[in-house]
Structure 1
Amino acid sequence: MRDTPKETKAILFRQADRPQLYREVAQFRKALFSDQLGWILNTENGLERDEFDTDMTEYCALLGDGELRGCFRAIRCDRPYLVRDAFPGLAPAEAFPADVTAWEISRFGIHPESSGLAISLYAAMFDFAERRGARALPALVDLRHERFLQRLGIKTRRYGEPRPVGRDVRGRVIFGVAGEIPIHEQRRRLGMLFSVPRSLLEVTDETTFGRLDRVSA
């Protein structure tokens, strides 16, 4: 494991806020999810993106010593989002939230040489949830990621049972489960996770939400 970078920063943004950073995130996603993990995704010109990467989609870029080390995508659930609209068979329709207090998290990943920053990316995710007043973070995760969340002490709630969601480039079946991280059930764990942004991680919100927050403050 490489040493954790001394300067770690998370930037929350939309495509229009940081077009070059968005391009770097899309390149990072292709290198990580498509090239390394072998997921079969939409890629073009070295970028990975799909129909859920819209002008309203929000992103987190995790930078370590100025280099992109991790990312995630966030979509408010009153809009189309990945797990509900691309994988509706994973759970009953009524299980998927469709309100402004739920934000789907997808394309969550860390550079393989920066695994020590995983806790910082989770901290940035919970910081994002607090900024948006989110009650839940829905997601589609594979079973290994679900087990990792449990080892971290992060509580999750399934919408349905694990099912095949596709195959990778080697033909291996990928099993996924639809569910959420209920924010109100994380209070004990959030105390530790929120301490990471305050002490080790600078979080900058460059979205419309963030600008409104700064103006109103």
Structure 2
Amino acid sequence: MEVTTLSFDNLHNHGTLFANLLRARHRTFIDGAGWDLPQADGMEFDQYDTPASRWVAVHERGQVLAGVRLTPTTHRCGIYTYMIRDAQLGLLPSIPRDLLHFPAPVAANVWESSRVFVSDTVPAANRMRVQMQLISEMVISARILGATTLLGIIPENSWRLARRVGLDCVSAGPVMDTGGASSVCVTISMQTKLH
């Protein structure tokens, strides 16, 4: 199993990994969860997949097992900034505006974590190992990018897993329905050490 952080600067070094990541997102969020998201050629993408973002992929023999996107909260592309802030500003009607207990930050040390998934093809016996690889690389990449805090939307009970592995993960908003699942915004401190 390998873990790779992709950027527009290094995509050419990793063959079809980025396309396979977008295909895995399609299977997870469009085929699996039934979300109405932009898609082309079996790949899911949106306005936040820009050169400013980074993508962490856990993969094995060309198959993407898990992934997450990291986006700086300081980035702007047209009218869009980052998903949580844009939802709060009313630009994303499918996400409640009151998803955070405070105004969405715009700061160089705060990055958004979004499109987090573990493929349903990962056997139950390997899920924890895959999740740990994803979390570990996400933290390493975020720290390298200068993040001291990540802000993200995760399934309601997932923050307990993050805390169990040593992440300082705190609920930052109310529980909300995100396409048939209960989710919550969280802040994750990059200052703590992983177990």
| TM-score (ref. length: structure 2) | 0.78
Amino acid at match of 1:119: M
Verify: 1:105 aligned to 2:113, yes or no.
Answer: yes
Q: Residue 17 of structure 1: which of 7, 10, 14 is its match?
A: 10
- Superposed CA offset, 1:122-155 (max 9, x none): 1111111221231101001121323432443432
Amino acid at match of 1:89: D
CA distance in 2, matches of 1:164, 1:112: 21
CA distance in 2, matches of 1:65, 1:47: 19
| Larger Cα-atom Rg | 1
Aligned to 2:46: 50
Amino acid at match of 2:50: T
Structure 1: 4+ residue segments shifted above 6 A: none
SS of the residue aligned with 2:115?
Answer: strand
Aligned to 2:92: none
Structure 1 residue 92 displacement after superposition: 4.7
Verify: 1:75 aligned to 2:71, yes or no.
Answer: yes
The higher-RCO structure (CA 8 Å, 6+ apart) is 1
SS of the residue aligned with 2:67?
Answer: strand
The size of the alignment, in residue pairs, is: 174
Q: How does 1:182-193 map to 2 (within 5 A)?
A: 182-184=189-191, 186-187=192-193, 190=194, 192=195
CA distance in 1, matches of 2:6, 2:172: 29
Structure 1 residues 144 and 78: alpha-carbon distance in aligned structure 2, compared to 1, 3 A threshold: same
CA distance in 1, matches of 2:39, 2:181: 19
Residues 69, 114 of structure 2: 8 Å contact kept: yes
Residues 30, 48 of structure 1: 8 Å contact kept: yes
Q: Indicate the structure with greater helix content.
A: 1
CA distance in 2, matches of 1:17, 1:9: 16
Aligned to 1:146: 159
Aligned to 2:85: 84
Structure 1 residue 16 displacement after superposition: 5.6
Aligned to 1:28: 24
Structure 1 residue 90 displacement after superposition: 0.9
Structure 1 residues 37 and 151: alpha-carbon distance in aligned structure 2, compared to 1, 3 A threshold: farther
Aligned to 1:174: 181
CA distance in 2, matches of 1:82, 1:45: 23
| TM-score (ref. length: structure 1) | 0.71
Residues 15, 22 of structure 1: 8 Å contact kept: no
Consecutive unaligned residues in structure 1, runs of 5 or more: 1-7, 168-172, 193-217
SS of the residue aligned with 2:157?
Answer: helix
Amino acid at match of 1:141: I
Identity of aligned residues (%): 22
CA distance in 1, matches of 2:170, 2:99: 14
Consecutive unaligned residues in structure 2, runs of 5 or more: 76-80, 88-94
Structure 1 residues 144 and 42: alpha-carbon distance in aligned structure 2, compared to 1, 3 A threshold: farther
CA distance in 2, matches of 1:174, 1:38: 11
- Superposed CA offset, 1:28-81 (max 9, x none): 100122212333322232111111111222111222244322211010111211
